[in-house]
Amino acid sequence: MLRSKVLSLVARSGSNRLMSTGTKLTTVEVNDKTGIATLTMNRPPVNGLNLELLQDLKSSIDEIEGNKSRGLILTSSSSTIFSAGLDILEMYKPDKDRIRAFWTQLQETWLALYGSSVPTAAAINGHSPAGGCLLATSCEYRVMVPKFTIGLNETQLGIVAPKWFMATFLSVLPQREAERALNQGRMFTTEEALKVGLIDETANSKEEAIEKCSAFIGTFAKVNPLARSLTKQQFRAADLRQLEDGRKDDLEKFLFFVNQPAVQKGLGIYLEGLKKKAKKQ
Amino acid sequence: MLRSKVLSLVARSGSNRLMSTGTKLTTVEVNDKTGIATLTMNRPPVNGLNLELLQDLKSSIDEIEGNKSRGLILTSSSSTIFSAGLDILEMYKPDKDRIRAFWTQLQETWLALYGSSVPTAAAINGHSPAGGCLLATSCEYRVMVPKFTIGLNETQLGIVAPKWFMATFLSVLPQREAERALNQGRMFTTEEALKVGLIDETANSKEEAIEKCSAFIGTFAKVNPLARSLTKQQFRAADLRQLEDGRKDDLEKFLFFVNQPAVQKGLGIYLEGLKKKAKKQ
Amino acid sequence: MLRSKVLSLVARSGSNRLMSTGTKLTTVEVNDKTGIATLTMNRPPVNGLNLELLQDLKSSIDEIEGNKSRGLILTSSSSTIFSAGLDILEMYKPDKDRIRAFWTQLQETWLALYGSSVPTAAAINGHSPAGGCLLATSCEYRVMVPKFTIGLNETQLGIVAPKWFMATFLSVLPQREAERALNQGRMFTTEEALKVGLIDETANSKEEAIEKCSAFIGTFAKVNPLARSLTKQQFRAADLRQLEDGRKDDLEKFLFFVNQPAVQKGLGIYLEGLKKKAKKQ
């Protein structure tokens, strides 16, 4: 699918080549006409955020930071799921060392994306619950394809979204909306998300979503990159510092919570439900 | 009136009994079908928040926290006043010990309501100035009957709403709206309150307002109660801590301000006005 | 122009005299009917904020604080520019002592305007970029004449708006809008500014803008001035304290940044552009 997209873009624009790189679970394509990098999550079937996908995401964000891209567009190789969020298998009956590495990596990937020095946008071409929504709201702009849902639904799963999920949500939504949605674990349809401001635009296809994200990034064309980057950092500094200064505490709090028997039981029931659902299909 | 409401509900729903408890100045009814508690302020004629009503409110909030209710709906037994706010008689020519107990109780009642672990909503069935607005905005949702007014009108009375009133207001309104309204001591009509987001819905009667509050609380039906409660605490922690850490200072500031001759004079003039108004009626 | 306005107002209102005072670069007129002071910036051609205009602004704000005015309306003597912002000549190849005095004065003028104890409003009768927008958003209300633009466009010039510019912007706009606009250095048309909430009303002329500002200030007529002023201070205390506690750091950061060769080069190119533009006209 990526290959055909590459070919179609090349066919359309003539000189518009794409340089494609990436890791095992992500792809990075830099459009050499616009200079914008598209970072595609590619861990079928649902882009579940496990340790390896989070590592690959971090590597790809670092690569884009380093290759002088004009911007970063985050999207998915799936046609129905942007990202299903944290991989439950990382949290259910976890290995002691791996779960520490997993959460530490989640922190690092968020710090890199939320604090990225390049303009960022999400082309949300599928459902985007929990950690998927965290990734999308960590970007500066969001374009979403209709008939999908987005939200931080942690409370529906018996989990508490940590403070920095909350801060990310509050960078996009007013406090009244953010608190209520997080308490409810509310999933917004594309239309509802647009109305409340959780996304900025809708698009009828992934391709159109990427074009609209590119247009947003294009608004920075005449802006001094250093001044822009320092201004963004200044806006996000308090949120970033809150996690940076409390990473150990945040990790211990997560480990304590996830190891509660009630939470483990809830995750087990949830996984059983997923298995049954999978068998039916 | 409460009795007739109880009877009408019982008549309507058959098995839908209400268990009614409460204190001298408040009533708590738990709908055994929905599991939601309605907390009714009942200090005629205007639910003026004196020491005893604030104590009874705190006791009833604690009772609801303890009885595993699915939610708390705050309302009034009056058909025209939700609550007229702090009882001026507590502040005019005050007894030294009683005014300390009064303000300390106001702090405690707010800490209990704003930080309540159960979902909270206000069925605003009458005017709701000053302290009445504080109670309503301390809840997570507001449904209001038309032709009434709501707002923090302290500056109109020559009083300064303390920092935690301001924080409560800011949890509902954008900063630009909150600052302006507080500076002006603005009272919003039901329609204006809806437009600006100070309330969430309107209802044509108290009964309908309670139904809509119940529907809001119902949105938490499939949500894990512990995760929901911890998420809410996380959102409100900074506001709660600000008062908890500064209760003594807040008390002394209030005492200093309320004992200013100019403030006492203003309260005296206000009370005279109320007496004349009462005589005319 | 001011004189003719004075005469026309006197002619219109009969007893409505204006007492006019001021400094070299500003004029203060107190309408003796409304008790509201109009503070007019008068440094042709563009009200560039140099050391002297900032000093005069501060003096005039202090004068209005001291003369028991009912409010302050900030406007411009130009018919096309409210204020073009910081005077680039203060920052390009600067004198070491003067640039320190300049930035220190900018801090003081902002502290005086943002923290003013009287109600403040801006009658924006021309373009209002960068520092012009800072002055306008430091007021409590904004009325703008159509076909002009307003915004913090610092990143377009390669400059980073300091933290207190950001805080001032955030007192008016939601975080999502504020961050994006500041990153983009976006200039809003009058219509766009109204839609997003950056201004509160539009007016077809400077005179109408001043009338609407007066009407806003009139909403405080029945409000206790001390309670109002203390309430405003409470809302703005954190922003004011952030600069007050960090004035030296803020100055050094500005000096470091402005003296970067790249920034100096950018300012030089910008000044060349202005000169060429001026010659063409």
Q: What is the mean pLDDT of chain C?
A: 91
Omega before C45 cis (within 30°)? Answer: yes
- Would you call B18 helix, strand, or coil by DSSP? strand
CB-based contact (8 Å) between B180 and chain C? yes
Asked about C267 being catalytic, the answer comes back as: no
pLDDT band at B18 (very low <50, low <70, confident <90, very high): low
Q: Is residue A7 part of a domain?
A: no
Residue of A nearest to C170 (CA): A235
- pLDDT of C4 higher than 80: no
pLDDT band at B278 (very low <50, low <70, confident <90, very high): confident
Nearest-by-Cβ selection for A180 from B140, B170, B234:
B140
Q: For residue range A72-102, what is the model confidence (pLDDT) as tens digits?
A: 999 999 999 999 999 999 999 999 999 999 9
Torsion of CA A253, A258, A262, A265, to 10 degrees: 180
pLDDT band at A273 (very low <50, low <70, confident <90, very high): confident
Q: Is residue B268 part of a domain?
A: yes
ipTM reported for the complex, 2 dp: 0.89
Q: Is residue A57 part of a domain?
A: yes
Q: For residue range A213-267, what is the model confidence (pLDDT) as tens digits?
A: 999 999 999 899 999 999 999 999 999 999 999 999 999 999 999 999 988 998 8
Q: Can you read off the two tokens belonging to residue B9? A: 């509900």
Asked about A131 being catalytic, the answer comes back as: yes
Nearest-by-Cβ selection for C227 from B158, B166, B174:
B158
* Per-residue DSSP letter, C32: T
> What local confidence, expressed as pLDDT, does residue C15 receive?
39
Nearest-by-Cβ selection for B185 from C172, C223, C234:
C223
Q: For residue range C120-154, what is the model confidence (pLDDT) as tens digits?
A: 999 999 999 999 999 999 999 999 999 999 999 99
Q: Is residue B8 part of a domain?
A: no
Omega before B45 cis (within 30°)? Answer: yes
**Interchain CB distance below 8 Å, B226 and A262:** yes
Strand (E) or helix (H) holding B229: helix B225-244
Domain that holds residue C230: 26-279
CB-based contact (8 Å) between C239 and chain B? no
- pLDDT of C10 higher than 50: no
Which of A224, A232, A233, A236 to probe by mutation at the C interface, max C CB count within 10 Å?
Answer: A224
Going across the sheet that includes A188-189, the strands are A128-129, A149-151, A188-189
Among residues A29, A63, A90, A154, the one annotated as catalytic is A154
**Is residue A227 within 8 Å of residue C155, measured between CB atoms?**
yes
Mean per-residue pLDDT for A123-152? 98
Q: What is the DSSP string of C45-108?
A: TTT-B-HHHHHHHHHHHHHHHHTT-SEEEEEESSSSBS---B-HHHHSS--HHHHHHHHHHHHH
**Is residue A125 within 8 Å of residue A81, measured between CB atoms?**
no
> What local confidence, expressed as pLDDT, does residue A47 receive?
98
**Is residue B72 within 8 Å of residue B22, measured between CB atoms?**
no
What lies within 8 Å, CB to CB, of C190 at 6+ separation is C144, C145, C146, C147, C148, C149, C150, C199, C202
Distance from CA of B157 to the nearest CA of C (A): 7
**Interchain CB distance below 8 Å, A224 and C178:** no
What is the spatial distance between Cα A31 and Cα A44, in angstroms, rounded to a whole number?
Answer: 24
Which of B176, B228, B240 to probe by mutation at the A interface, max A CB count within 10 Å?
Answer: B228
Residue entry with tokens 């909030």: B61
Pairing of strands A71-76, A120-124: parallel
Q: For residue range B208-236, what is the model confidence (pLDDT) as tens digits?
A: 999 999 999 999 998 999 999 999 999 99
- pLDDT of A7 higher than 80: no
- pLDDT of B85 higher than 90: yes
> What local confidence, expressed as pLDDT, does residue A266 receive?
86
CB-based contact (8 Å) between C182 and chain A? yes
**Interchain CB distance below 8 Å, A166 and B226:** no
> What local confidence, expressed as pLDDT, does residue A56 receive?
97
CB-based contact (8 Å) between C79 and chain B? no
Mean per-residue pLDDT for A260-281? 85
- pLDDT of B7 higher than 70: no
Q: How many domains does chain C have?
A: 1
Q: Is residue B14 part of a domain?
A: no
Burial grade of B79 (CB within 10 A; 0-12, 13-18, 19 or more): exposed
**Is residue A74 within 8 Å of residue A39, measured between CB atoms?**
yes
Mean per-residue pLDDT for B89-114? 97
Q: Is residue C19 part of a domain?
A: no
Torsion of CA C46, C49, C52, C57, to 10 degrees: 100
Q: Is residue A11 part of a domain?
A: no
What is the spatial distance between Cα B275 and Cα C1, in angstroms, rounded to a whole number?
Answer: 54
* Per-residue DSSP letter, C128: E
**Interchain CB distance below 8 Å, B223 and A166:** no
Asked about A204 being catalytic, the answer comes back as: no
Among residues C54, C57, C86, C243, the one annotated as catalytic is C86
**Which chain C positions have a beta carbon within 8 Å of B160's beta carbon?**
227, 230-231, 234
What is the spatial distance between Cα A252 and Cα B215, in angstroms, rounded to a whole number?
Answer: 37
Q: Can you read off the two tokens belonging to residue C48? A: 């560039």
Sequence letter at residue B75: T
3-class SS string, chain A: CHHHHHHHHHHHHCCCCEEEEECCCEEEEEECCCCEEEEEECCCCCCCECHHHHHHHHHHHHHHHHCCCCEEEEEECCCCECCCCECHHHHCCCCHHHHHHHHHHHHHHHHHHHCCCCCEEEEECCEEECHHHHHHHHCCCEEECCCCEEECCHHHHCCCCCHHHHHHHHCCCCHHHHHHHHHHCCCEEHHHHHHHCCCCEECCCHHHHHHHHHHHHHCCCCCCHHHHHHHHHHHHHHHHHHHHCCHHHHHHHHHHHHCCHHHHHHHHHHHHHHHHHHHHC
What is the spatial distance between Cα B101 and Cα B84, in angstroms, rounded to a whole number?
Answer: 20
Specify the CATH number for the domain of residue A50: 3.90.226.10
What is the spatial distance between Cα B172 and Cα A179, in angstroms, rounded to a whole number?
Answer: 10
Q: Can you read off the two tokens belonging to residue B69? A: 């209710």
What is the spatial distance between Cα A204 and Cα B55, in angstroms, rounded to a whole number?
Answer: 57
Among residues C151, C153, C173, C194, the one annotated as catalytic is C153
Asked about A153 being catalytic, the answer comes back as: yes
CB-based contact (8 Å) between B220 and chain A? yes
Nearest-by-Cβ selection for C183 from A173, A222, A228:
A228
Q: Of C251, C258, C83, whose CA–CA distance to C158 is shortest? A: C258
Cα within 13 Å of Cα(C195), Cβ side? 7
Q: For residue range C100-125, what is the model confidence (pLDDT) as tens digits?
A: 999 999 999 999 999 999 999 999 99
Going across the sheet that includes A201-202, the strands are A18-22, A26-31, A36-41, A71-76, A120-124, A142-144, A201-202
**Interchain CB distance below 8 Å, C140 and B183:** yes
Q: What is the DSSP string of B150-189?
A: EE--GGGGT----HHHHHHHHTTS-HHHHHHHHHHTPPEE
Q: Can you read off the two tokens belonging to residue B133? A: 């607005």
Q: In angstroms, how far is CA C229 from the centroid of its own chain?
A: 20
Q: Of B271, B273, B142, B208, whose CA–CA distance to B133 is shortest? A: B142
CB-based contact (8 Å) between A219 and chain C? yes
Largest CA-CA distance found in chain C, in angstroms, rounded: 59
* Per-residue DSSP letter, C19: E
Alpha helices in C129-246 (DSSP H): 131-138, 163-170, 175-184, 190-196, 206-218, 225-244
List, as own/partner pairs, every contact residues B188-196 make where C-beta atoms lie below 8 angstroms and the sequence separation is at least 24, other chains included.
B188/B149, B188/B150, B188/B151, B189/B147, B189/B148, B189/B149, B190/B144, B190/B145, B190/B146, B190/B147, B190/B148, B190/B149, B190/B150, B191/B146, B193/B142, B193/B144, B193/B150, B193/B151, B194/B144
Nearest-by-Cβ selection for C235 from B158, B179, B185:
B179
Residue of C nearest to B187 (CA): C219
CB-based contact (8 Å) between B258 and chain C? no
What is the spatial distance between Cα A80 and Cα C103, in angstroms, rounded to a whole number?
Answer: 54
Q: What is the mean pLDDT of chain A?
A: 91
Q: Tell me the pTM.
A: 0.91
Nearest-by-Cβ selection for A159 from B222, B227, B232:
B227
Q: Is residue A6 part of a domain?
A: no
What is the spatial distance between Cα C199 and Cα A45, in angstroms, rounded to a whole number?
Answer: 48
